[in-house]
Amino acid sequence: MSGGGLFLRAAAAARACRALAAFTTSQRSLRTSPRSRGFAKELFLGTIEKKEVFPFPEVDQEELNEINQFMGPVEKFFTEDVDSRKIDQEGEIPKETLEKLKSLGLFGMQVPEEYGGLGLSNTMYARLGEIIALDASITVTLAAHQSIGLKGIIIAGNEEQKTKYLPRLASGEHIAAFCLTEPASGSDAASIRTRATLSEDKKHYILNGSKIWITNGGLADIFTVFAKTQIVDSNNLIKDKITAFIVERNFGGVTNGKPEDKLGIRGSNTCEVHFENTKVPVENVLGEVGGGFKVAMNILNSGRFSMGSSVAGMLKKLIEMTAEYACTRKQFNKNLSEFGLIQEKFALMAQKAYVMESMAYLTAGLLDRPGLPDCSVEAAIVKVFSSEAAWQCVSEALQILGGLGYMRDYPYERLLRDARILLIFEGTNEILRMYIALTGLQYAGRILTSRINEIKQGNVSTIVETVGRRLRDSLSRTVDLGLTGKLGVVHPSLEDSANKLEENVYYFGRTVETLLLRFGKTIVEEQMVMKRVANILINLYSMTAVLSRASRSIRIGLRNHDHEVLLANIFCVEAYHQNLFTLSQLDKYSPENLDEKIKKVAQQVLEKRTYICAHPLDRTS
């Protein structure tokens, strides 16, 4: 084992001793308040649960020192030994590179220490993710192994399963893959056709089916596989339900196709995986029979937050490379860096990196609290924002390089190709926007049901109260949700931005109530409405994260905290005005709402399955 790997494992052992002394086993306590209610969900009610996100989560000095020491050998390896261009060109990660990753302990970052892993907190995992992100193919390989491949064993496995499988997965002796997607089921996971049939002796399930686009599919020894099984429900009716299984390649009947020829992340192994009469012991059911869909969603929901720190790590390096070019390349007797439109691009990249980094570490801090906090909405927000920002920022960086950026001699075109997948995997951004909106609307609906029913039934007092509140709102009432002032949690230099956040949150809550009253349960069919709801929430959580982080930076005197204030204020002002416009579009009679016209255009195009306008050179005679 390398020196770096020995250090990582020694540090892990030391953490285990401290954890035992502190009467805790798996999570470090962060200096934040105990979790009560989901922060993002409360925003749908027009309220800000301050204690959830203020102050910004911190780690103690001892853990911070460990994080920084972890970074040394990992960063050295990625800087000196990883040849990303070669990995991209040859379409695979060299075996010696994989072995080094294993010796560094990177295949077991979040595997608990008692099973041979490093047992990193979500915060430490996010920090290491910034360095690993310097190569996208390696990032995806490691993420597919532990964020989804083996994660089901950690969160749903029993003690026997954990003891049997996790040690060799943590060491990298075995590699894991997550098998959900099929030819006929992409985002619609419930429509999978792979089937597991219980044998007559009830000792095995016989697994048959095919999975596509499986990362690590050709490398993996252990697969988390989802298949339809028959169950008898409470009414004694036989139904098909999804069940999760731990499948070993050596069970037999497991084969894989050739690696896919992909646009980006070309060094990661992606292929079809086939199961033909594979005998899976009943002991290898993961979770409950018929409970596989929940297992799959819990696995996917738990890992999305880390995309924020990974993309931020990539963007920091991108800014560094691009700034060096802009400050030395001359045009019209001036450096590129002196031109306003180039400066605008750097401000955008810095802002996006700051926002996603703030959200990622805020969410990691929430996840690191004791218990089992539900941060699925926050994690989905981080994924959507970070993936779209990555695509935008890499494109802007390439634009700064001009023709050079388009050439394969430079890394920009590779980064652009690698970034495109981020909007697709771990849940497409379209599906995640529906998830973000629907989860929050359902939460608000459960709480507001009685009030909405009273309005529909003509309850006079409730109607009068509602009309009075809307009248006060129309007169531009002052909104105070406690972020500023004597008992405020936001630093005075960010007061204006905090006030904008409070106003947005308050009117978002009023709009949510109106939407639930207007659409009821049918709102799930209103995807353009749901998209706008999600976009507002993404901005609200982003604004909260940067205000919390910047306030902490000012109060403890971090270097360049004035730069953070600039970034936070710029973002909050822009997000505030975006939210105002989007809120106006959600009004039923808003002239800004073009949904029906947009639907009509789409229907006409799709009916003919072509662009239907006449050519501009056509004549009628």
Point out the residues that are catalytic.
426
For residue 264, which of 178, 100, 391, 130 has the smallest C-alpha distance?
391
Our measurement of the distance from residue 361's CA atom to the centroid of its chain's CA atoms, rounded to an integer in Å, reads: 12
Residue position matching structure tokens 């920022």: 393
For residue 551, which of 502, 498, 501, 494 has the smallest C-alpha distance?
494
Q: What's the CA dihedral at 154, 21, 368, 494 to 10 degrees?
A: -170
**Are 368 and 121 spatial neighbours (Cβ–Cβ below 8 Å)?**
yes
Instruction: Name the DSSP letter for residue 242.
Output: E
For residue 366, which of 17, 15, 34 has the smallest C-alpha distance?
34
C-alpha 386/C-alpha 599 separation (Å) is 28
C-alpha 83/C-alpha 98 separation (Å) is 12
C-alpha 390/C-alpha 352 separation (Å) is 8
Q: For helices 340-367 and 122-132, what crossing angle results, to 10°? A: 150
C-alpha 327/C-alpha 439 separation (Å) is 46
DSSP, collapsed to helix, strand or coil, labels residue 232 as: strand
DSSP, collapsed to helix, strand or coil, labels residue 235 as: coil
Residues whose CB falls within 8 Å of the CB of residue 463, separated by 6 or more in sequence, listed in order: 455
Task: Tell me how far apart the terminal alpha carbons of the chain are, to the nearest angstrom.
Answer: 81
Cis peptide before 616 (omega within 30 of 0): no
C-alpha 404/C-alpha 472 separation (Å) is 57
Residues whose CB falls within 8 Å of the CB of residue 569, separated by 6 or more in sequence, listed in order: 494, 496, 497
**What phi, psi does 217 have (nearest 5°)?**
-60, -35
**Are 230 and 205 spatial neighbours (Cβ–Cβ below 8 Å)?**
no
**Are 239 and 261 spatial neighbours (Cβ–Cβ below 8 Å)?**
no
C-alpha 400/C-alpha 346 separation (Å) is 9
Residue position matching structure tokens 């001892």: 62
- Give alpha helix (H) positions in 372-427: 376-401, 412-420
| CA-based torsion, 29, 34, 38, 44: positive or negative | negative
- CA distances (Å), origin 149, targets 111, 154, 178, 296: 12, 10, 5, 11
In 452-504, where do the E strands start and end?
none
Indicate the burial class of 385 (C-beta count within 10 angstroms; 0-12, 13-18, 19 or more): buried
Indicate the helix (H) or strand (E) that contains 348: helix 340-367
C-alpha 50/C-alpha 185 separation (Å) is 40
C-alpha 249/C-alpha 564 separation (Å) is 50
Specify the amino acid at residue 35: R
**What phi, psi does 99 have (nearest 5°)?**
-65, -40
